[in-house]
Chains A and B, each alone.
Chain A
């Protein structure tokens, strides 16, 4: 009911706006969600919280939809189910959506990023065997890889995904070529710790709680957090097919609004413990609350004796700074796909990002729930090696790296 009032107000203002501008907004009175039930996939990771909370705390009902969270076993399954319509939307790796758009390793399909779900909160864990060899930093790892020849194995979670890109970036920044100096494999997140325990791998990059779990289980330590690779980096997005966003724009907006509400709720630190308790459940992340809770609240230890309060812990909203689908964020993944040979030629970076990231849809939703919208569709970030990414010359940026495929 409250919604209707807001929209009437919008209609009043809209009648004074010229037609051309109006075309990009939606007509008042016809904003009822086309689909009431929305199946949203997620993978058991701490950063699935906003999808889960939007459903569990019924933020979805406020906008006339019902989110049906669907726990998925692999990113490949998430991709397939998005493409064939079994899922309407999903908590998904940023780079995966871009990979599908460009047909990397599979069928091409036009995809959409409806919003960014989270920043930060992943990490690179190295095994205690490496620690015993005196390796606690990237520089020391480089020395060992050069001096002691054997197969070094590192795992990430999906070939085009975020963890692959953080891991490759970090190794390369330490002058280790992830494709030729070491072996990289893909392992499902919940199986990372078990694989390291049996000695199958020297390191991995994955989302929480699995890095903290490795410390808790005394098999590894955190060599770096991903926020130390790129402060406030984009991580998971709410992804769908382009078809979904076009066919069901009202549902998509309602979904964004519900998840924005949930994101605000999670970012209130007073609520974090409660959220950790909810997502720890078997139906969601299926991990002890303690293991999730520490890093979720910014309390870090690295497994080497260092403890700190990280100001750049996993963020879900930051008044929309997290959620705005910046074109520069999307393009960054393309530059890395190109860097590592997943793309053979330079795509039209800006055109692809504009097509995928649903900025208009997001803006409409964010303005309804009073979340700030940044003025610029690009943002400037400085990464661990000092390089600056501002989205201005992606082709040049992609070609600028010394260590590459």
Chain B
């Protein structure tokens, strides 16, 4: 059973990854944050595979450790770059294969990468959704505020105020929220 070390500052992602890998029968021997990464902690984990985020600044630290250490079995770093098959293969060719240890078979590795990549992708999707939901809330507030300005300053009814903004957005090729922002800005200027 391949021993895997996860290094990730995003805790919930690391936890998911750990659970998923264990479900797929991999042995997760440790979860570290980047701050804890040094030669001792990496050695102590004695992992066959190390999984890190491709975009973590701490990757250079790991480079030095794996390059300079004479006693350390060369770790494999799996990049959680993107979720499509194409970039997983690219990651394997570039970064991952850079560290491939002889003890890890190709099949094991691709299994680990698939699980890791899927988990990274799911985490990203959830975060994006949350961001989008938050964004929508902000947008709705702006539209309401602009509607209120049109109603009090120009005597529109609520449905008419909305219609006015919508037709303006359509004729200008802009989004309603952009029209709303313009109305709010114009109001601020006139005060």
Interface contact B67-A188, CB-CB below 8 Å:
no
Interface contact B61-A185, CB-CB below 8 Å:
yes
Q: In the complex, what's the smallest C-beta–C-beta distance from B116 to chain A, in angstroms?
A: 16
Interface contact A106-B59, CB-CB below 8 Å:
no
Q: Does A381 contact B (CB under 8 A)?
A: no
Interface contact A105-B98, CB-CB below 8 Å:
yes
Contact of A74 among B38, B58, B93 (CB under 8 A): B58
Q: Which of A80-88, A134-142, A282-290 lies at the interface with chain B?
A: A80-88
Contact of B60 among A74, A83, A84, A104 (CB under 8 A): A74
Main secondary structure of the interface of B (DSSP, over half): helix
Within 8 A of B (CB), among A135-191: 157-159, 179, 184-188, 190-191
Q: In the bound complex, what is the Cα–Cα distance between A105 and B65 (angstroms)?
A: 10
Interface contact A185-B64, CB-CB below 8 Å:
yes
Q: Which of B49-57, B107-115, B181-189 lies at the interface with chain A?
A: B49-57
Q: In the bound complex, what is the Cα–Cα distance between A106 and B57 (angstroms)?
A: 18
Q: How large is the interface on A (under 10, 10 to 19, 20 to 34, 35 or more residues)?
A: 20 to 34
Q: Does B103 contact A (CB under 8 A)?
A: no
Given contacts A80-B94, A84-B91, A107-B93, contact A188 B57 (CB under 8 A): yes
Within 8 A of B (CB), among A338-377: 342
Q: Does B167 contact A (CB under 8 A)?
A: no
Q: Does A75 contact B (CB under 8 A)?
A: yes
Residues of A within 8 A of B65 (CB): 186
Q: In the complex, what's the smallest C-beta–C-beta distance from B56 to chain A, in angstroms?
A: 7
Residues of A within 8 A of B90 (CB): 84-86
Q: Does B41 contact A (CB under 8 A)?
A: no
Interface contact B38-A77, CB-CB below 8 Å:
no
Interface contact A188-B61, CB-CB below 8 Å:
yes
Given contacts A74-B56, A186-B60, contact A159 B68 (CB under 8 A): yes
Which chain B residue shows the least CB distance to A100? B98
Within 8 A of B (CB), among A66-96: 73-77, 79-81, 83-86
Interface contact A191-B68, CB-CB below 8 Å:
no
Residues of B within 8 A of A190 (CB): 57
Q: In the bound complex, what is the Cα–Cα distance between A86 and B90 (angstroms)?
A: 9
The total of Cβ contacts below 8 Å across the A-B interface reads 77
Residues of B within 8 A of A80 (CB): 54, 79, 91, 94-95, 98
Given contacts A73-B57, A74-B57, A185-B61, contact A107 B67 (CB under 8 A): no
Which chain A residue shows the least CB distance to B89? A84
Residues of A within 8 A of B79 (CB): 80
Contact of B98 among A73, A81, A107, A191 (CB under 8 A): A107
Within 8 A of A (CB), among B26-62: 38, 54-62
Given contacts A73-B55, A185-B38, contact A158 B60 (CB under 8 A): yes
Q: In the complex, what's the smallest C-beta–C-beta distance from B159 to chain A, in angstroms?
A: 42
Interface contact B67-A83, CB-CB below 8 Å:
no
Q: In the bound complex, what is the Cα–Cα distance between A184 and B58 (angstroms)?
A: 15
Within 8 A of A (CB), among B50-88: 54-68, 79
Contact of B57 among A85, A86, A105, A191 (CB under 8 A): A191
Q: In the bound complex, what is the Cα–Cα distance between A180 and B174 (angstroms)?
A: 64
Given contacts A185-B38, A188-B57, A188-B58, contact A76 B63 (CB under 8 A): yes
Interface centre among B54, B55, B79 (most CB of A within 10 A): B54
Interface contact B55-A186, CB-CB below 8 Å:
no
Contact of B59 among A76, A84, A85, A185 (CB under 8 A): A76
Chain B interface (Cβ < 8 Å from any Cβ of A) = 38, 54-68, 79, 90-91, 93-95, 97-99
For the complex of A and B, the 8 pairs showing the least CB-CB separation, nearest first, are: A106-B98, A186-B64, A188-B57, A84-B94, A105-B67, A76-B59, A80-B95, A84-B90
Known: A80-B91, A158-B63. 10 other contacts (CB 8 A): A73-B59, A74-B60, A77-B55, A79-B94, A80-B95, A84-B94, A84-B95, A158-B60, A158-B64, A188-B57
